[in-house]
């Protein structure tokens, strides 16, 4: 299987030269259980910390975090990529890009200035016309703080029915939007516990939206009621140690298991999903096999983990009965990896 690996370059104290190609077994295999090998850089660019694919075109979008822009890349050969149009301004420390299921737009999230930015995507996959959504306000107010808390937009996810969910790590918010007249218009906010720091989400087949919190080390389950209003229906602790920060959240192929990365203790928390999807039970806490597990990806029966500080990616086989990852099966040296995207 072919995968792309985004990373930090020298402008963000990393060792990557752009985004590169990672092979898991033979290039055309549909699984990722084979030996890992880094196949080299595919696009030289500054700090493409997040990558995502267009749903139907051979186009990849990179969040160029230090530059604050989003750049599209078109595949020009079997393993070659070239810029598609110019980089589009998004905001300070743009760290995530999500593309609409119909491929007609994308949403970029910016950590430093809290911006949530919608861009139009043309028929060739080229983004343009960035429109900044309304900023967030702290639901907890200033209180005893000397200064207001900063907004920290971190991820967007397109949901069914034209809804979009975004996380604000700085203000403990999950915001829900719809597109109207080419703009993002907020419909609702769900407020998480103060200081929890919602970072990333996954959608479950049950209809629950799971949110991992970077600062408090928890997973919250959100669900919509009969009127369409979202609310918190459950939560579970990850077993984080003091100083840990949670990173990515992923779900198994069968939807029965969640995996959350914990940076600091360098572990992976495993939770089982029970009942209607609102019952989350921690089942294991295992070694991630890398230093600073920034991102991980489930490909069938394999879990791939990117170690940002150890300059490597490892693979583990998932137990078909319990969903718990086994020991590291394969390892490849990959410079400062921050994101993995499967191409097959």
Phi, psi of 120 (to 5 degrees): -80, 140
Model pLDDT, residue 150: 97
Quote the pLDDT of residue 143.
75
Per-position DSSP letters for 260-281, written without gaps between them = EEEETTTEEEEEEEETTTTEEE
> To which H or E segment does residue 30 belong?
none
| pLDDT bucket at 78, cuts 50 / 70 / 90 | confident
| DSSP assignments along 139-181, one per residue | TT-STT-SSPPPP-EEEEEE-GGG-EEEEETTTTEEEEEEEET
Distance from C-alpha of 163 to C-alpha of 331, rounded to nearest angstrom = 38
- If phi over 0 gives left and psi between -120 and 50 gives alpha, with beta otherwise, what is residue 170? alpha
Chain-centre distance of CA 283, in angstroms?
Answer: 23
For residue 146, the model assigns a pLDDT of 75
Range of the domain at 270: 2-342
Helix H or strand E segment including 236 = strand 230-237
Predicted confidence at residue 79, as pLDDT, reads 84
Tell me what the pLDDT averaged over the chain comes to.
97
Which CATH number belongs to the domain containing residue 29 in this structure? 2.130.10.10
Q: In 10 A of CB 231, how many CB atoms?
A: 11
CA pair distance 213, 196, nearest whole angstrom: 6
| Stretch 43-49: mean pLDDT | 98
- Determine the Cα–Cα distance for residues 148 and 142; give it in Å rounded to an integer: 5
Tell me the torsion sign for CA atoms 20, 23, 27, 28: negative
* Rounded distance between C-alpha atoms, residue 104 and residue 87, angstroms: 17
What sign results for the dihedral spanned by CA atoms 288, 291, 296, 300?
A: negative
pLDDT of residue 144 exceeding 80: no
The string of pLDDT tens digits covering residues 319-330 is: 999 999 999 999
For a pLDDT cut of 70, what percent of the chain falls above it?
A: 100
pLDDT tens, residue by residue, 303-314: 999 999 999 999
Mean pLDDT check: name the lowest of 57-66, 110-119, 145-154. Answer: 145-154
pTM here?
0.97
Burial 287-300 (b: 16+ CB within 10 A, else e): ebbbebbbbbbbbe
Among residues 166, 164, 218, which one has the least CA distance to residue 195? 218
CA dist 169 and 163 (Å) reads 20
Query: For the chain, what is the domain count?
Result: 1
The count of other CB atoms within 10 Å of the CB of residue 219 is 23
pLDDT band at 50 (very low <50, low <70, confident <90, very high): very high
pLDDT surpasses 90 at 77: no
pLDDT band with cut points at 50, 70 and 90 for residue 212: very high
Q: Is residue 337 a contact partner of residue 294, using CB atoms and an 8 Å limit? A: yes
pLDDT at 220 over 80: yes
Tens digit of pLDDT for each residue in 84-95? 999 999 999 999
Question: For residue range 153-197, what is the model confidence (pLDDT) as tens digits?
Answer: 999 999 999 999 999 999 999 999 999 999 999 999 999 999 999
């Amino acid at each position: 299987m072919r995968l792309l690996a985004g990373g930090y370059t020298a402008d963000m104290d990393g060792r990557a030269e752009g985004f590169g190609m990672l092979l898991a077994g033979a290039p055309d295999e549909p699984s990722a259980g084979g030996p890992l090998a880094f196949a080299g850089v595919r696009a030289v660019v500054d700090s493409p910390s997040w990558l995502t694919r267009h749903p139907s075109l051979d186009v990849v979008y990179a969040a160029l975090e230090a530059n604050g822009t989003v750049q599209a890349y078109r595949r020009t050969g079997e393993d070659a990529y070239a810029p598609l149009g110019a980089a589009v301004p998004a905001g300070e420390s743009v760290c995530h890009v999500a593309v609409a299921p119909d491929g007609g737009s994308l949403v970029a999230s910016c950590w430093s200035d809290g911006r949530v930015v919608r861009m139009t995507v043309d028929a060739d996959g080229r983004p343009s016309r960035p429109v900044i959504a309304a900023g967030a306000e702290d639901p907890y107010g200033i209180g005893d703080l000397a200064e207001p808390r900063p907004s920290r937009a971190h991820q967007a996810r397109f949901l069914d029915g034209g809804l979009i969910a975004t996380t604000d790590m700085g203000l403990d918010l999950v915001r829900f939007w719809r597109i109207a007249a080419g703009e993002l218009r907020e419909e609702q906010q769900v407020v998480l516990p103060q200081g929890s720091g919602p970072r990333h989400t996954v959608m479950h087949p049950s209809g629950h939206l799971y949110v991992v919190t970077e600062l408090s080390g928890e997973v919250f389950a959100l669900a919509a009621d009969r009127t369409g209003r979202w609310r918190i229906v459950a939560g579970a602790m990850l077993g984080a140690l003091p100083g840990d920060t949670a990173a990515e959240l992923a779900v198994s192929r069968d939807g029965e298991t969640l995996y959350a990365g914990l940076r600091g203790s360098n572990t992976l928390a495993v939770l089982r999903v029970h009942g209607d999807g609102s019952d989350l039970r921690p089942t294991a806490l295992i070694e991630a096999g890398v230093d600073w597990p920034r991102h991980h990806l489930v490909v069938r029966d394999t879990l791939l983990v990117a170690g940002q500080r150890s300059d490597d990616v490892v693979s583990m086989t998932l137990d078909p009965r319990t969903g718990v990852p086994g020991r590291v099966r394969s390892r490849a040296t990959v410079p400062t990896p921050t994101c993995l995207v499967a191409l097959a």
